[in-house]
Amino acid sequence: MLIPKNNANQMRTRILVKIVEKFLQGRFADADRIPLELRPKGGEVSRCCIYKDRAILKYRCMASMGFAPEDETDELTSLKEYGERALARQEHATNKLSVITDACSGCIRSRYMVTDACRGCFAKPCQVNCPKQAITIVNGRSTIDPDKCISCGRCQEVCPYHAVIRVPIPCEEACPVGAISKDESGKEHIDPEKCILCGKCLQSCPFGAVVEMSQIVDVLKLLADDDKKVVAMLAPAVLGQFPGTINNLIGALKKLGFADVVEVAVGADITTQKEAAEFIEKMEKGEKMMTTSCCPAYYKAADVHIPEIKPFVSHTRTPMYYTAELLKKEQPECTAVFIGPCLAKRFEAENDPNVDYVLTFEEIGAMLVASGINVTDCEPQEFAKISCAQGRRFPVSGGVAGAVVSLVGDKAEIKPTAINGLNKASIKLLKQYATKGSEFNMVEVMCCEGGCVAGPGCIALAKKSAIMVENYVKTAPDLKDKKD
Partner 1 sequence: MEKVKIKICCGTSCFVMGAAQIQVLEFAPPADIADKIEIEEARCMNHCKNTTAKYNRGPFVLVNNELIEEANFEKVVNKVREILNQEN
Residue number with CB closer to partner 1 (360 or 387):
360
- Contact (CB, 8 A) for 347 and 241: no
DSSP 388-414: PHHHHTTTSTTHHHHHHHHHHTTSS--
CA 136 to CA 117: how far, in whole Å? 16
Whether 161 and 118 have beta carbons less than 8 Å apart is answered as: yes
DSSP conformational letter for 242: S
Stretch that binds partner 1, among 130-138, 235-243, 293-301, 344-352 (CB under 8 A): 235-243
DSSP-derived 3-state class of residue 31:
helix
**At 180, is the secondary structure helix, strand, or coil?**
strand
Assess 151 for contact with partner 1 (CB under 8 A): no
Phi, psi of 194 (to 5 degrees): -90, -30
Q: Number of residues interacting with partner 1: please give it, by CB under 8 A.
A: 31
Please, which residue, 163 or 370, has the CB nearer to partner 1? 370
Asked if 376 touches partner 1 (CB under 8 A), the answer is yes
Instruction: Output 144 or 364, the one with its CB closest to partner 1.
Output: 364
Residue of the chain from 105, 243, 383, 398 that contacts partner 1 (CB under 8 A):
243
Instruction: Give 16: exposed, middle or buried? Use CB within 10 Å, 0-12, 13-18, 19+.
Output: buried
Q: Phi, psi (5° rounding) for residue 311?
A: -65, -15
Cβ closest to partner 1, residue 12 vs residue 305: 12
Q: Which is nearer to partner 1, 159 or 366 (CB)?
A: 366
Task: By CB under 8 A, name the one of 289, 375, 396, 454 that touches partner 1.
Answer: 375
396 scored as a contact of partner 1 (CB under 8 A): no
d(CA 257, CA 382): 17
In the complex with partner 1, which residue's Cβ is closer, 23 or 112? 23
CA distances in angstroms from 251 to 21, 258, 274, 378, 469, listed in the order given: 21, 9, 32, 5, 20
Beta strands in 435-476 (DSSP E): 442-446
> 18-47: which residues touch partner 1 (CB under 8 A)?
37
Q: Which of 274, 464, 470, 476 binds partner 1 (CB under 8 A)?
A: 464
Stretch that binds partner 1, among 7-15, 100-108, 115-123, 186-194 (CB under 8 A): 7-15
Shortest spacing between CB 356 and partner 1, in angstroms = 24
Span 333-362, contacts to partner 1 by CB under 8 A: 362
Give the one residue of 69, 176, 365, 399 binding partner 1; rule: CB under 8 A. Answer: 365
Q: Which contiguous run of DSSP H or E holds residue 248?
A: helix 246-256
Distances (CA, A) of 268 to 214, 310, 320, 424, 470: 25, 22, 8, 28, 16
> Residue 247 and residue 333: Cα distance in Å, rounded?
25
| Shorter beta-carbon distance to partner 1: residue 87 or 369 | 369
Q: Does 252 bind partner 1 (CB under 8 A)?
A: yes
| C-beta closer to partner 1: residue 28 or 347 | 28
> CB-wise, 118 or 369, nearer to partner 1?
369
2 belongs to the binding site for partner 1 (CB under 8 A):
yes
Using DSSP's 3-state secondary structure scheme, residue 338 falls into strand
Side-chain-side CA neighbours of 369 within 13 Å: the count stands at 18
Q: Is 99 in the site for partner 1 (CB under 8 A)?
A: no
Per CB under 8 A, contacts with partner 1 among 257-286 are none
Interaction of residue 374 with partner 1, rule CB under 8 A: yes
Considering only 5, 27, 52, 124, the residue that binds partner 1 (CB under 8 A) is 5
Nearest to 27 by CA among 84, 69, 70, 79: 84
State in angstroms the smallest separation of the CB of 67 from partner 1: 24
Binding mask 102-141 for partner 1 (x = CB under 8 A): ----------------------------------------
How far out from the chain centre does Cα 234 lie? 16
- The footprint of partner 1 on residues 440-459 (CB under 8 A) is 459
**Which part of the chain contacts partner 1 (CB under 8 A), choosing from 53-61, 292-300, 366-374, 474-482?**
366-374
Residues that bind partner 1 (CB under 8 A): 2-5, 7, 10, 13-14, 17, 37, 241-244, 252, 362, 365-366, 368-370, 372-376, 459-461, 463-464
